[in-house]
Chains A and B, each alone.
Chain A
Amino acid sequence: MLGGAWIGLLLVALLLAFAWIRRNRRGPSEAASTRIVVALGVALPIAVIATLFFVSDVFIIRTTQAPAATATRLTIRVIGHQWWWEVRYPGTTAVTANEIHIPVRTRVLLQATTADVIHSFWVPELNRKIDTIPGRVNEIELDADGPGVYRGACAEYCGVQHAHMALAVYAQPRAAFRRWLALQERPAKAVRSAGAALFLDGTCSECHAVRGTSASGTEGPDLTHLASRHTIAALTLANTVHDLAAWITRNQQIKPGNRMIDVRLPAPKLRALVAYLRSLR
């Protein structure tokens, strides 16, 4: 298609160059010109667009459509939020955010919905994009040929932090995927620590859930297995002690306008809180 476009551009450029070379001479007669206009301006495009239309919209399109629910082995539900992705695995209790794990060489049905405005789920290397529209469930297929990490992003403008709404798809061998899913299904281990107390009694639990504890907020990402993720804040930062502390205390500087507040904590308390978050494997 790109090659064809270059040929089309070259054709017109050559015609114009020819007109420049012969600028002092008269060209073809009116009748001859009209014939050329009809040939190049009517017949040629009809041939080109008919070919393009049939090849892409009759044949290639079949490979990008959502599979029937019965044809797939796994369904994943992705819910767009301002500005992160909630990921659920129906039939299990697993809930995660921004990092989607799938088994390789498996047809996965992805159902995309939204909790607020229109987003668009797009992982360019795996498939087309699909918008998340209020009141609708849109479906596409994910099918990774090989293991790897596939970067994706929100493709529909969704507010001030649209730029920081990336996601990653981790395609894993089937056994590794099953182990990962089993881990995600488990509730968090009960911990008694200063950090846990800060999390559960403070503002954190109003918006975040940690399954197995009293924290059950749904505004922000589920943090039950936060430490098993590689990134935080929709791929804005790495999931490290340093970045977690930076995020808690000055997220409004890093991702201005995001729905979390800056939580100002004295250094010891901050260390305790981050230690608790890092323990959520």
Chain B
Amino acid sequence: MTAVGLLERQWTERPGLLGWLTTTDHKRIGLLYFWTTLVLFGAGGTEALLMRTQLAQPNSHVVGPEAYDQLFSLHGITMIFFFIIPMTTGAFGNYLIPLMIGARDMAFPRMNALSFWIFLGSGIFLYASLALGSAPDAGWFDYVPLASRQFSPGRNIDFYCLALIFNGVSSTLAASNFIVTILKLRAPGMSLNRTPLFCFAFLAASFGLLFALPALTADAVFLYLDRRVGTHFFDVAHGGSALLWQHLFWIFGHPEVYILIVPAFGIATSIIPAFTQHRVVAFPLVAIAELLVVFIGFGVWAHHMFATGLPTVTLIFFAAASALVVIPSTIQVFAWCLTILSGTARFRTPLLFIVGFILFFVVGGLTGIMFVAIPFDQQMTDTYFVIAHFHYIIFGAAVFPIFGGMYYWFPKLTGRMYFELPGQISFWIIFAGTNLLFFPMHVVGLDGMPRRVYTYPGGLGWGTYNLIETVGGYITLAGILLLFGNLVVSYVRGERVGRDPWHGPTLEWTIPSPPPEYNFAVIPHVTSAYPNWEPLAGDLVLDEGHQQPITTAADGELAEIAQMPHESPWPVLLGLGLALVFALLVVEKFLVAGIALGLCALVLAAWHR
């Protein structure tokens, strides 16, 4: 039997539904993440459009205040925890990182499956709250004492706490997996200075998640205990502190913002070289900048709290720290621009989305710099100006590269090309819609419109701007529908392309499209940061079981050959068990929840038997 035949037999998984339930293949897990997050993106987008419809006119009654509060809370929670993070790390990272570093799977394939099943469980858990009419309604920031039992006696906030703890388990597993994969599974010869910038971005995001999430988890555990067990972490009347919630929340929350955006940098630094046929200029500066953004992001949290009455010295410290983030950000902006300028650029759909991303990032970044001015922050915080600022970042800059990346890697995933003209049209529609949607928010914000209001009075001059925003929202929706329509039709009718339609720089373009189960028939030996632009080298076949070379973290020298695990039913079962535990915690059946947790321990024991 040939080596390829042998590899195929060893790596092909069970067919059918059972195959998907027990899979440990990073590509299938990536696709599971993709489809799940897409559904959740639809939910978050529907929530946004319902809000925009309600706000299109003053004093309108499309949805009532209670429904509106649940909508804006769910919108934030969904888009941050259940769309952008799992779409970038879960879908893009899972599918692409092993391909980019020349690996056959993630470092911990079963843990990878587990992180998906937990993520799916937490998503269903969160939306079960909506079906039961008690979705979280104190915002994604969930400030106490509004979120305390006294002011929110329903189950709404319990769902919030438990869904985020549950989701956090999944993100923690995924982040550890990415860190080990990127540091230890790179193909021989791929030293750090030859590692794709995409991987640096995901490394930064993963380290960020790993260190930021504990603060959020602790916060959510404290709140759940305050609400249902009777502790007093946030209860001022009994010596607790209401501001403690905010500190812990933003110690997580601000790094989180950079965790959302950094993978987008990674996608941009993949697309730009492919469409300019030019190396990213100032490569080491850009790699360091990607890591620095997240690192500095841990020291700026209190700039979300400038109106809480903190001492002026504290404000000045955090304003100065926030100012520093500007430097690594501008380094990257100009490196992207100069790379496009240096190469011979083909402005096809993926690059258009990256150009859009750069412009949005610059607008959102420039309005972000303004918050360094403490008096300006204290005037503009909690207004629509802030909504405009961070949607330029989170939608314009974090999601545009996701769209661009969908077009860019579509031929890799499907073996077919998308249709170019509808692709470019979808870009222009989304670009125009997004600006119409978010730009007027700067104006109403400067004019004094506060955030999180379900309606506003007529006669203050806000109606026209809000109407334009709503129209922009529906235009954006039309563009997004065209984008997905294009991809669906292309999947069926698109022109068949070979392994490398773009002459892309990184290793995923050296293998067939769609990639075989084992990814690389021959483990590549890497001699540059743009290995597909160099002659291919490598002679390791490794066809005895699930074999994977392990290399040293810095220099990428071959250290050992590891045997990777096969498909397994335990991850999905453990995910199911944990979902049961969290469901029981919501209804305060602590004893039964304890028993369910014991069952999970048994599953874990069986897994490691």
Contact = CB atoms under 8 A, between A and B. Distances in A.
Interface of A: 1, 4-5, 8-9, 12-13, 15-16, 18-20, 22-28, 30, 33-34, 36-38, 40-42, 44-46, 48-49, 52-53, 55-58, 60-61, 63-65, 82, 116-118, 120, 122, 124, 128-131, 133-136, 138-139, 151, 153-163, 166, 256-257
Given A49-B369, A55-B373, A256-B66, 6 more contacts: A1-B370, A5-B363, A9-B363, A52-B323, A128-B378, A157-B451
B64 interface: yes
Contacts of B454: 163
A45 B319 CA distance: 15
B323 A40 contact: no
A184 to B, nearest CB: 26
B383 to A, nearest CB: 7
A10 B65 CA distance: 41
B602 interface: no
Contacts of A24: 344
16 contacts: A34-B285, A37-B281, A37-B331, A38-B331, A41-B331, A41-B335, A42-B330, A53-B320, A60-B375, A61-B312, A61-B375, A64-B378, A65-B312, A130-B378, A154-B450, A163-B455
Given A16-B358, A157-B143, A133 B345 contact: no
Nearest to B150: A116
Interface residues of B, number: 76
B450 A153 contact: yes
Interface string B154-176: 00000000000000000000000
Contacts of B222: none
A163 B65 contact: yes
Nearest to A159: B146
Interface stretch (B211-219, B235-243, B405-413): B235-243
B576 to A, nearest CB: 36
Q: 9 tightest A-B contacts by CB?
A: A56-B373, A128-B378, A41-B331, A163-B453, A138-B309, A135-B236, A27-B342, A33-B281, A5-B366
Contacts of A82: 151
Contact of B333 (A19, A41, A61, A161): A41
A116 B319 contact: no
Contacts of B243: 133
Given A9-B366, A42-B330, A257-B66, A131 B319 contact: no
B345 A20 contact: yes
B331 A42 contact: yes
Contact of B341 (A15, A58, A65, A130): A15
Given A5-B370, A133-B308, A27 B375 contact: no
B231 to A, nearest CB: 17
B358 A12 contact: yes
Contacts of B373: 1, 52-53, 55-57, 60
Contacts of A257: 65-66
A19 B337 contact: yes
Nearest to A118: B143
Nearest to A257: B65
A10 B454 CA distance: 35
B369 A52 contact: yes
A257 B64 CA distance: 10
B6 interface: no
Contacts of B69: 159-160
Contact of A156 (B143, B342, B343, B457): B143
B341 A22 contact: yes
B145 interface: yes
A12 B333 contact: yes
Contact of A134 (B242, B363, B382): B242
A48 B327 CA distance: 10
B145 to A, nearest CB: 5
B574 interface: no
B327 A42 contact: yes
Contacts of B66: 160, 256-257
B581 interface: no
B349 interface: no
B332 interface: yes
B467 interface: no
A135 to B, nearest CB: 4
Interface in B303-349: 307-309, 312, 315-316, 319-320, 323-324, 326-327, 330-335, 337-347
Contacts of A12: 333, 337, 358-359, 362
A16 B342 contact: no
A242 B143 CA distance: 38
A232 to B, nearest CB: 14
Contacts of B376: 1, 56
Contacts of A40: 330, 334
B516 interface: no
Nearest to B340: A19
B4 interface: no
Contact of A116 (B145, B340, B343, B375): B145
B456 interface: yes
B86 to A, nearest CB: 26
B51 interface: no
A126 to B, nearest CB: 11
Given A41-B335, A118-B145, A33 B282 contact: yes
B378 A129 contact: yes
Contact of A128 (B143, B359, B366, B375): B375
A16 to B, nearest CB: 6
A134 B138 CA distance: 17
A9 B341 CA distance: 17
A138 B66 CA distance: 30
B452 interface: yes
B145 A117 contact: yes
A173 to B, nearest CB: 26
A4 B365 CA distance: 12
A20 B355 CA distance: 10
Contacts of A120: 307, 382
B451 A131 contact: no
Contacts of B236: 134-135
Contacts of A5: 363, 366-367, 369-370
B381 interface: yes
B46 interface: no
Contact of B381 (A129, A157, A160, A162): A129
Contacts of B344: 23-26
A52 B345 contact: no
B139 interface: yes
Contacts of A124: 379, 448
Contact of B383 (A1, A13, A155): A155
Contacts of A26: 342-344
Contacts of A23: 344-347
B599 interface: no
Contacts of A256: 64-66
